[in-house]
A and B are shown apart, each in its own frame.
Chain A
């Protein structure tokens, strides 16, 4: 209990909607799918989130964060963290979503460095000096390690951040009530244990995903005449 009291508060702060990471400005392709006529109501949003958006986390961000978490154990494997940072960027299939991931990661890394120092500060110093990309999943792992949060909590936090980002963007794009969105968010969070378990089986060479329809919608969003969100 005493251990949890040391990290839970600061960990919740990183997931707060007014933690200034810029996430609120992104829909991560959802606005493009709305424009394509794919996600137009709550039922379609539910299918998109539970069947297409969250499952790939077990092939991308969750195993990536786990590997970064392990590399950040003492003695810290900086070359491995460097490689994972580039891999995390390369797994994003469109420029817009890649920029979103790296912008949010950079902002989180700067904040974690300023607020908590330690490992987060050293990671940020090296990444900035050597021009590493800072994907949000890698930064989440570094942040969790710095705060003393356990791996499972860090990974569950990644699931929460992804699901909440889609949910909050959906509220602005679709006619949805808050209760309906929070019911969907609760269902999404219930997937976290299975996603984390699946991610634990992944080797570094298996990491990655492929959804051409989502990529096409995101790519077309990059040059759309009207956009509410940056991505």
Chain B
């Protein structure tokens, strides 16, 4: 080839095989502790990509930690581990700024393990944006919650049906979501979703919400189920575009399930539920700057 001339397509060296996507083994460990003046601090923190956290911020009610994924989403082979401890009298809010995307995976699987511990007298608000599984993704997540008797917790697990804006619904290859909730050392709720998108699509059609955004909200607080007006107020949010059921699985635990026609309806309803719950759990009055 003449120096300076451009190589034609047939003269160019063959492009090397694409390198396999990096597989991240990330972790996030947080331990929140109350200072003598009542404010909560992170006594311990450790994280590795794809986890990153914002600068913790005391908002007057809780220490707010925003968990950020700088890779924009979850890729095949990723293995994520999160452990959050709220120790005695600590008040911690953990949020994410955007939906968690489980990207298309031509093969392989990504895994996530979440472990939340809340001590007696402590409060944990786990309030992430929904999980959005993309076409052909395969994502396995196990969440284990341990609450001591006397703990307070608000936990949200929300699932988008896919990239709804582009009409991609229930298109994932496999989604396994496991949730174990223990109260005072005993299992009080065990749920397992393990299904291809098509299977959940058939269920969504049969139950007359073909593009449902689904969520479970778990609220733990001493004697929360005995507040009659609270359950009635939350239950009354059921209506056009939102199906909502509330049940008390323990005197200290409410489980609220939602099926919404779209993401905004789900977001608005969850915000309204949290406002009602704030009558029993004043830490929820914190402004987490959610739209």
Contact = CB atoms under 8 A, between A and B. Distances in A.
Indicate the size class of the contact surface on chain B.
35 or more
A208 B190 contact: yes
A146 to B, nearest CB: 26
Interface stretch (A9-17, A117-125, A217-225): A217-225
Interface in B162-219: 177-178, 181, 186-194, 202-204, 206-209, 212, 214, 216
B227 to A, nearest CB: 14
B247 interface: yes
A106 to B, nearest CB: 18
A38 B187 contact: no
A59 B193 CA distance: 10
Contact of A95 (B186, B202, B207, B248): B248
A212 B255 CA distance: 11
A220 B235 contact: yes
Contacts of B181: 90
B255 A93 contact: yes
Contacts of A206: 192, 194
A166 B15 CA distance: 62
B106 interface: no
Interface string A113-143: 0000000000000000000000000000000
Interface string B1-28: 0000000000000000000000000000
A213 B187 contact: no
Interface stretch (B54-62, B77-85, B120-128, B237-245): B237-245
A48 interface: yes
A221 B244 CA distance: 12
Interface centre among A59, A86, A207, A216 (most CB of B within 10 A): A216
A209 interface: yes
B246 A86 contact: no
Contacts of A96: 247
B245 A90 contact: no
A213 B247 contact: no
A178 interface: no
A64 to B, nearest CB: 11
Contacts of B247: 93-96, 215, 218-219, 222
B206 A208 contact: no
Interface string B153-165: 0000000000000
Indicate the size class of the contact surface on chain A.
35 or more
Given A95-B247, A215-B257, A216-B244, A38 B207 contact: yes
Interface in A166-214: 206-214
Contact of A90 (B187, B203, B208, B212): B187
Given A87-B190, A95-B249, A218-B245, A212 B258 contact: yes
A28 B61 CA distance: 41
A208 B189 CA distance: 9
B172 to A, nearest CB: 15
A40 B80 CA distance: 44
B191 A208 contact: yes
B245 A216 contact: yes
Interface in B32-69: none
Interface in A71-118: 86-87, 90-91, 93-96, 98
A51 interface: yes
Contacts of A207: 190, 192
B189 A93 contact: yes
A52 interface: yes
Contacts of B178: 208
B259 interface: yes
A220 B190 contact: no
A144 B96 CA distance: 50
Contact of A219 (B177, B208, B209, B245): B245
Given A38-B207, A90-B187, A94-B247, A209 B255 contact: no
Interface of B: 177-178, 181, 186-194, 202-204, 206-209, 212, 214, 216, 231, 235, 238, 243-249, 255, 257-259
18 contacts: A36-B243, A44-B206, A51-B206, A90-B181, A90-B188, A90-B190, A93-B189, A207-B190, A210-B192, A211-B203, A212-B216, A212-B257, A213-B259, A215-B247, A216-B244, A218-B247, A219-B246, A222-B247
